[in-house]
Amino acid sequence: MNGLSILGTGRSLPDHIVTNDDLARRVETSNDWIVSRTGIRERRFAQGETLTQLAVAAARRAMERAGVGPQDIGLCLMATVTPDWITPSQACLLHQELGLPEDCPAFDLSAGCTGFLYAMETAAAMLPRMARPCALLVGGELLSRITDMDDRSTCILFGDGAGAAVVKSTEGAPWHALLGTRGNREALWAAGPGNHPAYLHMNGQEVFQFALKTVPELARSLLDKAGMDRDQIDWYVLHQANHRILEGVAKRMKVPMERFYENIGRYGNTSAATIPIALDEMAEQELLRPGQWIMCLGFGAGLTWGGAMFRW
């Protein structure tokens, strides 16, 4: 049975840094208040950069580190809720900029913050039927486009960025994944056409409780599926939404926080980009070593949830 191997990762962030003090000059908040409730100290906002530019930069870095060229890519998937154009898809724009082969399918996935994990499992299912064994997966957002900067409950949370991975369909590679949806449009949403501006709105307490209940249950289900124990996982890489969620999940799973990678303090919540950005940072810091077990866990608007467990 084929699983996925990650051959290379990449990331790209806007240059402009927005600190908590910057936000405090616009809305009633403070650095201490934001840090104590979210763990976020700063985030990046695009100023002139397009999502296509960030996605292309992240993708090129991932392809370079994987040692592959456009001719090796058989599938191109982009997880995002903030594409540059309504149509063609963000994946098609990426396909064009990278010069990918014409027989390489390209399409977007809209699963909120769980989008990159949806892309991983989609690639695992599709790649064995594609013309080439490698897929390019990108999670990217310009959430500053849909953030109400006068709403202190949301403007402190979100940031912009893109992360990418080149994956390969590999015979016998360990791969365990679970995806799900709990349809709920009142927990986290942005209005559609005819409702402008299409700002993000969130019932923070509902999302918080959803994550604290669903993510530990998801992790246990993945471990049961693999016949493994929580202590056999070297790294837990969660969607970076809130430090208190990471802390709560670790406590409920009875796993030390040291095995949960965290970078939310620097970037805020970049939705579908958080997990690939985290994986790229970990690889760059040589925290990930061959043979280690990695569990990625996500949750987001939909409400969606998903997890993937694999060996590095």
**CA–CA separation, 114 vs 79, rounded Å?**
9
CA distance 27 to 29: 6
Whether the CB-CB separation of 42 and 101 falls below 8 Å is answered with no
Per the structure block, which two tokens stand in for 279?
A: 């994986």
Secondary element (H or E) of residue 300: strand 293-300
Beta bridge partners of 235: 294
Neighbours of 41 (CB within 10 A): 17
Catalytic residue numbers read: 113, 239, 269
What would the two tokens of residue 173 be? Answer: 């590679």
Q: Is 201 helix (H, G, I), strand (E, B) or coil?
A: strand
How far is 42 from 35, CA to CA, in rounded Å?
Answer: 10
Which residues are 189's β-sheet partners?
201
What is the C-alpha to C-alpha distance for residues 165 and 68, in angstroms, rounded to an integer? 12
Radius of gyration of the chain (CA): 18
Q: How far is CA 201 from CA 58, 196, 221, 255, in A?
A: 28, 13, 30, 32
CB contact burial 288-309 (16+ within 10 A = b; e otherwise): beeeebbbbbbbbbbbbbbbbb
Distance CA 153, CA 146 (A): 14
